[in-house]
Amino acid sequence: MPADLEPLAKLRTALWPSSSDQEHARELAAILAGDLPGPMPLVIFVAESSGAEIVGFLEATLRSHADGCDPSIPVGYVEGWYVVPGHRRRGIGAKLLATAEDWARRLGCAEMASDTWIDNEVSQCAHEALGFEVVDRCVHYRKALNGPK
């Protein structure tokens, strides 16, 4: 909903702080207008408090493949999942995930995949508590090349 844009942008910034509220709001406005960032479906589920404040969200897409999943069928993918710290451990994240899983099932998926940073133990614990299993660990490297030799 357009009214959710600003509070949702703030939650996205809490999850992905490398972008500003304004950058997230622009991206959300495009998504709400139907201009998806890729060719696969994308959906954003939100959780509201009893006072109608957005206290969590889960963004899910379909991907053609994901590490550890059957490569012959698309997989539901958790692109982003966040619950405001004061509202955690109340089942909000689990309900958001269950809703995303139902969405993926309706689109023919047999699996759901996700990822998180290796140092984000809170996220790892949440994933594992809700039935995800680790399929791989990876350390990414980069090296600057200083001019031609």
Q: Is the dihedral of CA 70, 74, 76, 78 positive or negative?
A: positive
Average pLDDT estimate for 60-86: 91
Residue with tokens 């509202």: 87
- pLDDT digit string, tens, across residues 1-34: 667 889 999 999 999 999 899 999 998 888 888 8
Residue with tokens 């957005």: 54
Q: In 3-58, which ranges are continuous DSSP H helix? A: 5-15, 21-32
Give per-residue pLDDT as tens, 77-115: 999 999 999 999 999 999 999 999 999 999 999 999 999
* Confidence tier at 57 by pLDDT (50, 70, 90): very high
> What are the residue boundaries of the structural domains of the chain, listed by start?
2-129
CA dihedral (115, 119, 124, 126) in degrees, to 10, reads: -110
Query: The pTM is what?
Result: 0.85
How large is the average pLDDT for residues 61-76? 89
Q: What's the CATH fold of domain 2-129?
A: Aminopeptidase (3.40.630)
